[in-house]
Amino acid sequence: MQQVSDYELEVMKIIWTNGGTALYAEIVAGLEAKNNSLTKNTVLTLLSRLADKGILKTSKTGRRNIYTAAVTENDYQTHQTIRFLNKVYEGSTKGLVSTLIAKDLLSRSDYDELLNQWSGGVVADE
């Protein structure tokens, strides 16, 4: 999976939030909601770049373009995390998790819950 720039990711997030597909107008509205209004050509350029990278698919309904995410948000996150892990921690998950816990980015209860989930147990329903 090719890397996407910050603004391209912004666009993708809007599409993901919108349920995986969006029209141009919806993307523009999404950007404006985040105080990120861009000119039309810029938005179209970002969309075209995402399509070139295979992260987005373009189809037509009538005269309007529909932009569909070719990659789910989850897949993207997984991919990016592994990439980050390999790049920064040289594949050491332990290192990553210890940083997260040490800096209080992962709370004790979150950690326990995840652990429970992975070991096949049921998530505590409190």
Distance CA 126, CA 124 (A): 6
For residue 44, what are its two tokens? 């179209």
* Residue 59 binds another protein, judged by CB under 8 A: no
Nearest residue to 48 (alpha-carbon basis) of 58, 40, 35: 58
Size of the site for another protein (CB under 8 A): 12
According to DSSP, the β-strands at 64-69 and 21-23 are: antiparallel
- Pick the piece of the chain touching another protein (CB under 8 A) from 40-48, 73-81, 87-95, 113-121: 40-48
Q: Between 24 and 89, name the residue whose CB sits nearer to another protein.
A: 24
Count of alpha carbons within 13 Å of 72, Cβ hemisphere only?
3
> Could you tell me which of 48, 46, 41 has the C-alpha nearest to residue 10?
46
- Contact between 49 and another protein per CB under 8 A: yes
Choose the stretch contacting another protein; rule: CB under 8 A; options: 35-43, 56-64, 92-100, 113-121: 35-43
Q: 55 is written with which tokens?
A: 């992260």
Interface residue with another protein, options 48, 93, 98, 109 (CB under 8 A):
48
Q: Which is nearer to another protein, 53 or 101 (CB)?
A: 53
The residues binding another protein (CB under 8 A) are: 5-7, 38-42, 44-45, 48-49
